[in-house]
Amino acid sequence: MSNDKINLDMLADGYVICICEGAAEETIMNLLLDHDCLCFSRDNLVGRSITRKRKASEIEREYLQRGYTKSVVILRILDSRSENFRLQPVYQGRYPVYNIYTRPEIETLLIIAEGTYDKYIKSKKSSLKPSLYCKEELSLGKHIKSKDFLEDYFCDVTKLICAITEYKRLRGQKEYCLADLLKPANN
């Protein structure tokens, strides 16, 4: 894994392999791409799309055995630090890998957008996973991880940007998060 600062110019000028852990993360990333909020565009994505392949061996086989004319960066959008992703030595120095965390879950963005993050953290209910809290305490419904729900909820992408930047403020700079991928104008 690369511990270096993300080179935003490399993302904007090169190719990006964007790996999303789940459908909710993929939907959020697609919303950001579709509204031109990221420091890279869909044109930078290898295959012009996000992948859900999560194993290093799958990424190597599918994407890294090509002859690229520009630099390639691998972005992993996930909530777990424990997920193992190790490229073979032949690829390790050539392709930087950055983990972009949405811990504890991507649904934390919904809690922030609802303005109830402090209440969530301070309540006895904070032992609930954010997804359960959104369903049970915020009554956002049982389909909060679905593409349709997220697209509808964040139809005003400004609401999503605000939640992402607030998440970074609340979490501090402990690890990379979605805010680190936003265009400077959106930070």
- Summarize pLDDT for 83-130 with one digit per residue, the tens: 889 999 999 989 999 999 998 899 999 999 999 999 998 886 568 889
Other CB atoms closer than 10 Å to residue 123's CB: what's the count? 13
- Judged against a pLDDT cut of 60, whether residue 7 lies above it is answered with yes
Position 9 scores a pLDDT of 83
Chain mean pLDDT for the chain: 91
Position 181 scores a pLDDT of 96
Q: pLDDT band at residue 177, thresholds of 50, 70 and 90?
A: very high
Position 72 scores a pLDDT of 96
pLDDT digits (tens, 9 = 90+) for 118-163: 999 888 656 888 999 999 899 998 899 999 999 999 999 999 999 9
Buried/exposed 8-44: b ≥16 CB within 10 Å, e otherwise: bebbeebbbbbbbbbebbbbbbbbbbeeebbbbeeeb
Closest of 52, 78, 39, 48 to residue 179, by C-alpha? 39
List C-alpha distances in Å: 99 to 132, 154, 181.
25, 24, 11
Q: pLDDT band at residue 5, thresholds of 50, 70 and 90?
A: confident
Q: Report domain extents, the chain.
A: 8-105+161-186
Position 1 scores a pLDDT of 44
Helix (H, G, I), strand (E, B) or coil at 88: coil
Q: pLDDT band at residue 172, thresholds of 50, 70 and 90?
A: confident
Helix axis angle, 157-171 to 23-34, nearest 10°: 120
Position 104 scores a pLDDT of 87
Position 126 scores a pLDDT of 61
Residue range 48-59: average pLDDT?
95
